[in-house]
Amino acid sequence: MPYRSHYSDHSFQASVFKFRAIVAALICLLMLAGLLFRLAWLQIVDYKHFADLSENNRIRLMELPPTRGLIYDRNGVILAENKPTFHLEITPEQVDDMEATLEGLSEIVSISDTELERFREQLRVHRSFQQISLRTRLDEQEVARLAANRHRFPGMDINARLSRYYPQGELTSHVLGYVGRINQKDLSVIDEGNYRGTTHIGKTGLEKYYEAELHGKVGRQKVEVNAQGRVLRVIEKVAPEAGNDLTLNLDIELQRIAEQGLGEFAGSVIAIEPHNGAVVVFVSKPGFDPNMFVHGISHKDYDALQHGMYKPLFNRALFGQYPPGSTFKPFVALAGIEQRRFGVKESIFCKGHYLLPGDETERKYRDWKKEGHGVVDLEESVEQSCDVYYYELSYRMGIDSMHDFLAQFGFGKKSGIDLLGERRGLLPSTDWKKRVHGKVWYPGETLIAGIGQGYMLATPVQLAVATAALASRGEMIVPRLLKEVHVPKDDTIREREPSRTMIKLRREKHWDVIFDSMIEVVHGPWGTARATGWGMKFKMAGKTGTAQVFGIAQDEEYDEETVAKKLRDHGLFVGFGPAEDPVLAVAVVADNGEHGSKMAPIARDVIKRYMEKYTSGSSTVSKAK
């Protein structure tokens, strides 16, 4: 270093230092510029990206599920409501000693091991300020006990949530159906957007049929959350629109009368206002407690329902297909006189059995009365339910013309009632047999069909609709459970026009012929339901029926005692009243009810109560158009 001697060591050092200080300062500035470059990169170049990320951090969209619409009967009695149910929930961050709390709580209310296990699992995955459910559906006593001990358990809450409740339980189970948790299958058919936040959906019955009315429209809110996910404030809110309320045509009091009338029997009772199709009673017994399904039914309970005596989950009114038996006779009689195959006053002689003309096997088609009814005309044939009369009648008509006429009354096709899954029954014809069985129609089968047996099948709903068509002298209505829809959003009522087609008779007088014969069933001296008619204050027209569960072989004695109860005949009754101006048509089908005459009082009681409630002495029947 030659320069060193020119400078004093001190000043040389100072100048080296100064140079290095400047270098250091420059390096500092350069590195700070680097930092600024980095910041500019984040804050200017990638600003949009990070602004979005920060918005996504703090904004959450939350769905607000709508309140499900309520269901009332025609008089405003609530049938399906949203009831608060109480749940025991824990906020972990407020609990000092979780184990002690759990132990203490299980002394007060019963907490199962599975519930504890589920709780512990939730505890791991939830944030500490989020409430975790420990017990659902506390009963009133449990709520009271918990409330009294609340001070001992900080972090414990009893929360109310709305859940579907059916106060009438079994009585309305087959009409209303029930709601249940949305499952994978439901998801494939619903508008998922509108069901965000909704947990339950109509699974069966009206709850399913009118799901779109009942559900409502989901609301949304934008909330600001912090890093832990806690909601700090609501930024924007679109309130949910509650579902529409339904008012049914059903009268719960009549429903109960009908249900109790069936007594021990499993069966169905359908009552319809003949002029507008309003379904006033819809009973399928046994029912089940639909409330069990709302919170998820246990396997054990479900099995019990599924395989229980008479299958309580089976909606027999809608899905049950029965041979109509003798209840079919008034319709066949009407077909006979309308098609001029039989005179109104024409008689036959019943000797207890019938031989098909030209049948060389000489098979005897038996009457239910072994000794026969003697000379029988139309009125007597209905009154006494003479089979031989109808063998002759259907023989003369032939199956196809019988089919064509009776199809007008809705046999063999869906009634169109506002429930899903309805069965169509079966009104046989030669075409049908060829199509389905690939076989020719035998004349003997016509005779069997003529007394409502054999291939012939009808659901209780179909029977009721056909009876209503009789009662209204040809108004073929579509039965409706729903009366009106109340839209809470604008507080308006929507009603649906009843839909009907008219059955035109060749002679209007024929209605009276059938009416008279059916009145005789209840009020005539030989009427099969004459026991019911005694002391009645109004006139009811009706027809009993007994449908064989299985065929009784030729000449075999039929002994009720020895036939197992489940194999006993079905008892049926169709009727309407008052006969002069019918206000209600009823069909009763009792599984293994043995005889239709036992069912007539149910129809009578329902009609009687209906008249007391709605026609109040004067016969002001609301005849739509």
Nearer to other proteins (CB atom), residue 29 or residue 502: 29
Site for other proteins in 228-287 (CB under 8 A): 228, 232
Nearer to other proteins, 50 or 558 (CB): 50
Helix (H) or strand (E) holding 224: strand 219-225
439 binds other proteins (CB under 8 A): no
Buried b vs exposed e over 343-375: b needs ≥16 C-beta within 10 Å?
Answer: eeeeebebebebebeeeeeeeebbbbeeebbee
Judged by DSSP in three states, 8 sits in coil
Residue 224 makes contact with other proteins by CB under 8 A: yes
Active site residues: 326
By CB under 8 A, is residue 226 in contact with other proteins?
Answer: yes
Q: Would strands 219-225 and 59-64 be described as parallel, antiparallel, or unpaired?
A: antiparallel
Best CA proximity match to 425, nearest among 453, 372, 462: 462
Please name every residue paired with 135 in a beta bridge, in sequence order, or none if there are none: 88
Q: How far is the CB of 128 from other proteins (least distance, A)?
A: 14
Cα 343 versus chain centre, distance: 45
Side by side, the strands of the sheet bearing 219-225 are 59-64, 219-225, 231-238
Distance of CA 373 to the CA centre of its chain: 45
- The piece of 32-40, 70-78, 136-144, 306-314 that touches other proteins (CB under 8 A) is 32-40
Q: Which helix (H) or strand (E) segment is 486 a member of?
A: strand 482-487
Q: Is 35 in the site for other proteins (CB under 8 A)?
A: yes
CB of 33 to other proteins, least distance (A): 9
Cis check: omega of the bond before 578, within 30 degrees of 0? yes
* 304 binds other proteins, rule: CB under 8 A: no
Q: Which is nearer to other proteins, 83 or 126 (CB)?
A: 126
Considering only 36, 100, 355, 493, the residue that binds other proteins (CB under 8 A) is: 36
- Please, which residue, 47 or 349, has the CB nearer to other proteins? 47
Instruction: Assess 17 for contact with other proteins (CB under 8 A).
Output: yes
Minimum CB–partner distance for residue 236 and other proteins (Å)? 16
Q: Is 25 in the site for other proteins (CB under 8 A)?
A: yes
| N- to C-terminal Cα separation, the chain | 125
Piece in contact with other proteins (CB under 8 A), picked from 7-15, 71-79, 247-255, 306-314: 7-15
Residue with smaller CB distance to other proteins, 235 or 436: 235
> Which residue from 586, 324, 623 is spatially nearest to 472, judged by alpha carbons?
623
Residues 29/140, Cβ–Cβ less than 8 Å: no
For residue 51, state whether it binds other proteins (rule: CB under 8 A): yes
Please check whether residue 376 is in contact with residue 389, taking contact to mean a CB–CB distance below 8 angstroms: yes
Should residue 8 be labelled a site residue for other proteins when binding is judged by CB under 8 A? no
In the complex with other proteins, the residue whose CB is nearer, 224 or 594, is 224
Q: Is there binding between residue 38 and other proteins (CB under 8 A)?
A: yes
Residue 12 is a binding residue for other proteins (CB under 8 A): yes
Binding test (CB under 8 A) with other proteins, winner from 2, 6, 44, 358: 44
Within 8 A by CB and 6+ apart from 509, the residues are none
Chain contacts with other proteins (rule: CB under 8 A):
9-10, 12-14, 16-18, 20-21, 24-25, 28-29, 31-32, 35-36, 38-40, 42-44, 46-47, 49-51, 53-55, 57-58, 224-228, 232
